[in-house]
Chain A
Amino acid sequence: MSARRPFRWHIVVFLAPAVLIYTAIMILPLFGTLNLSLMAREGGERVFVGLRNFGVLFGDPRWSASFWNALGNNAWFFLVHMLVQNPIGVALAALLSSPRLRMAAFYRTAIFIPTILSFVVVGFVWKLILSPIWGIAPGMLDAVGLRWLFAPWLGREETALTTLALISVWQFVGIPMMLIYAALLSIPDEVIEAAEMDGITGWSQFWKIKLPLILPAIGIISVLTFVGNFNAFDLIYVSQGALAGPNGATDILGTFLYRTFFGFQLQLGDPHMGATIATAMFGIILVGVCLYLFAIQTRLRRYQF
C-alpha cells in the first residue's frame, strides 16, 4: 500500500524526550558499570580480561555457592509473592469493584498505605512487632492463647526468608490491587449486563467473564513482581543488614550484589566482581522479561473498548 509514506516526524517527537533523558542518565552509566565485568584491576591498572570474572563467579566454589544460595532464596522470595501477594491483590480488587459497595474508597486508600511507606519504616516497625523482647506479636498471640506459636521468626534460618517475603507482600499488595482494580473498572457495563442476562453472576461471572478480560493486567503484574523481586534489596538490607543473616538465609541477589560492589565493613568494594553479578542478574531478568514480552504478551487476547 503506502510503500513510501513521508517520514513521520511526530514519532520522533513523541519518543525523543524520554529516550534522551533515559539514555543519558540511566543507560550510559549502567552500561559503563556492566562493562566493568569484563575487566579487572591488576597492579593498579584496569585491564580487559574477557569472561574471566564470570569464570570465577560460576567456577570458584566460594563465589558460586553464594550466588546459587542467593538465586535460590530469590526464587523462593518470588514464589511467595506470586502465590500470596497477587491472589490477595486480585481478590481485594474484585471485592472493591463490586457495585454498590459502601466505603470502597476508604478501603482502597487504607490498603494501599503500606505501599507508600519507605523500607526503613517497614523494616523497623515489623522488627518491632515481631521482636521477642518488646512483645507486640507475642503479647497478641498470648491474648488469644496461642503464645506457643511464637518464635523469633526473623532470627531463625528456617523462617527468616519467608517472614521477610510476607512482610514484603504486606507492603506491596496495593500494587496488584490497584492495577487490577483499574482493569476491572474499565470492563464496560454492557459486557457485565449481557452476562447477567445469561444468568452468569457472582463467582462464576468473575471466573468466566472478568478474569479473561483482566489477564493482560495480571500479566503486567506478574512481570513487575518478577522484576521487582529479582532487584529487591532494601527490605532485607534494612531488616537483616548487608550480610543478610541468619547465616546467609535471607541473602538474595540484591544484597549479594551490594556487598560485593560497594563493600561492607572490612570487605572492600570490588566493582569488577560486583558488575559481574549485576550482569548475571540482568541476564536472568532479561530472559524472564523477554519470555513475557514475546511468548506471553503477544498471545494474550486484548479487548478494546
Chain B
Amino acid sequence: MTRTLTLALLAGTTLGGMAAAQDVTLTIESWRNDDLTIWQSQIIPAFEAAHPGIKVNFAPTAPAEYNAVLNSKLDAGSAGDLITCRPFDASLELYNKGQLADLTDLAAMANFSDVAKSAWQTDDGATTFCVPMASVIHGFIYNRTAFEELGLEPPETVDEFYAVLDAIREEGSYIPMAMGTADQWEAATMGYQNIGPNYWKGEDGRRALIDGEASLTDEAWVKPFRQLARWRDYLGDGFEAQTYPDSQNLFTLGRAAIYPAGSWEIGVFTPQIEGAFEMGAFPPPVAAAGDTCYISDHTDIALGLNPASPNADAARTFLEWVGSAEFATLYANALPGFFSLNSAAVEMEDPLAQEFVSWRERCEPTIRSTYQILSRGTPNLENETWTASANVITGAETPEDAAARLQEGLESWYQPAQ
C-alpha cells in the first residue's frame, strides 16, 4: 500500500496527503468541463456511497486543449487513472501506443452492442479499450412558442423545411436559423453531418466511402453542400463572424426560431431559457414524405484506463460501474441529450431528450462520416470538411469545388479512394 501511494504521488495522481491511508483516489481526465458540477454533485457521490474506500476526482480540461494536454501528460507519465476517450482514431492511437489498457475482459462489456463499442475497438474488432458512455443525435431544435405564434408546423420534407424558413423570414420577428460560420466546426457538425446522412443513406454511404466505392464528388455527397449553400439566406446578419456561443445565445434568448443542433444542447439550453418559451425538435428533413430517414447517432464519449495507473483495480471497479445500467440511467438523466449506449433500456424524464431518442425507432442511425479511418492522414478530412462547409455557406467555394477539393485531399493519402 505504501508503495502504491508513493507511486501515486510520483505520478502526481493523488492530491498529496489528502486521501486517508486506506482510500484510493482515482482521477478522471475529461474534456467535459461543462459537466463538472454534475459529476461532483450526482455521479461521484452515487459511486462513492456504494464503494467505500475509493474516492473519485473529476478533472476536466477545456475541450480545445484536451487532446494536447492529455497526450503530453500520458507521454510524460503524469496523466490520471481514467481517461475519457474520444471516438475512433484519437483513442485507437493511444491504445496502439500502449497508453490505453485493453478492457475486453471487463464484465460490463457484455452490456454493449458491437455498434456501441465500434468507436473504441481495434480495426478488427477483437479488442475494446474504452467503456462506451454516450452518443449524441443530430437534428433541429425549434422554438415551439414561436412556431405556434406564426402558425407553423415542424417540417418533414426538404420543401416544407424551406417553406417554414421562408415564412419565418417574411414575417420578420425571428432570425429563421441560428448558425454561424466563424467557428467552422458548427457548419460541418451541425450542418453537413446533421443533414448529410439522408443524402448518402447513412451507414451504406459511409461504408461505401471507406471501401472506396463512393467518391465525395458523387451527387449523394455534394447535395448536402448544396443545401448548406441555400441556408445562407436564412442566417442572421453577419453570420460570417457569428461564433458557436453566439448561435446558442441567439436561440436561447428567443431571437432565432430554428437551431441546427446536437442533442447535447438540451442540457445547456433548458436552464438558460428559464421557461421563456417551449422547445421542440424535428429530425433532418427528407426529400419526399415517406422516405426512410437517416440520423446521425454518433458514438461520442467513453471511458478508458491508463495502463500506468497504480490504482488499476479500483479503476476497473469504477469502469464496471460505468458499464452498469445504474450509471446509464444516472448519466442520461443528469445530462439529457447524452444518450446511453447501454443495451439496457433507460428511462429518461426530459421530453426533448425523449423526442430525440424516439427517432432511433423510425430512422436509420449512422455515425459522422469523417470519423472512422478517413481522418487518419494529411490533409485531415474532418478539418477539411469544417473549412469546406463554412466556405460553402459563405459562398467562398461552390459545393462542387468544395467536394472536389475534399476528394482530391482524401485520394492523396487514402489508397481505397484512389
A–B proximity contact (CB within 8 A)? yes
What residues of chain A lie closer than 8 Å to B184, measured between beta carbons?
241, 243, 245-246
Shortest distance from the beta carbon of A241 to any chain B beta carbon, whole Å:
6
Q: How far is the CA of A133 from the CA of B241 in the complex (A)?
A: 9
What residues of chain B lie closer than 8 Å to A264, measured between beta carbons?
67, 383
What residues of chain A lie closer than 8 Å to B246, measured between beta carbons?
131, 133-134
Q: How far is the CA of A11 from the CA of B118 in the complex (A)?
A: 64
Is B383's CB under 8 angstroms from A245's CB? no
What residues of chain A lie closer than 8 Å to B237, measured between beta carbons?
132-133
A152 within 8 A of B: yes
What residues of chain B lie closer than 8 Å to A184, measured between beta carbons?
none
Is B387's CB under 8 angstroms from A152's CB? no
Q: Considering the complex, which residues of chain A in the window 115-169 have a beta carbon less than 8 Å from any beta carbon of chain B?
A: 127, 130-134, 151-157
Is B390's CB under 8 angstroms from A266's CB? no
Q: Considering the complex, which residues of chain A in the window 219-244 have a beta carbon less than 8 Å from any beta carbon of chain B?
A: 240-243
Chain B 164-187 per-residue mask, 1 if CB under 8 angstroms from chain A, else 0? 000000000000000011111100
What residues of chain B lie closer than 8 Å to A132, measured between beta carbons?
236-239, 241-242
B382 within 8 A of A: yes
A63 within 8 A of B: yes
The tally of residues in A whose CB lies under 8 Å from a CB in B reads 35
Given A130-B241, A155-B240, also A245-B67 (CB < 8 A)? no
Give the interface SS of chain A, mostly helix, strand, loop or mixed: loop
Shortest distance from the beta carbon of A151 to any chain B beta carbon, whole Å:
8
| Contacting residue for A266 out of B72, B182, B370, B396, CB 8 A | B370
| Contacting residue for A247 out of B239, B249, B381, B390, CB 8 A | B390
Is B88's CB under 8 angstroms from A262's CB? no
A114 within 8 A of B: no
CB within 8 Å of B: which residues of A? 44, 62-63, 127, 130-134, 151-157, 240-243, 245-248, 258, 262-270, 273
Nearest 9 interchain pairs by C-beta? A132-B238, A155-B240, A155-B241, A152-B241, A262-B68, A152-B238, A267-B380, A266-B375, A266-B382
A selection of 7 A-B contacts at a CB cut-off of 8 Å is A132-B237, A155-B240, A245-B387, A246-B240, A246-B396, A262-B71, A266-B382
CB within 8 Å of A: which residues of B? 64, 67-68, 71-72, 88-90, 93, 96, 180-185, 236-243, 246, 249-250, 370-371, 375-376, 378-383, 386-387, 390-391, 394, 396-397, 409, 412
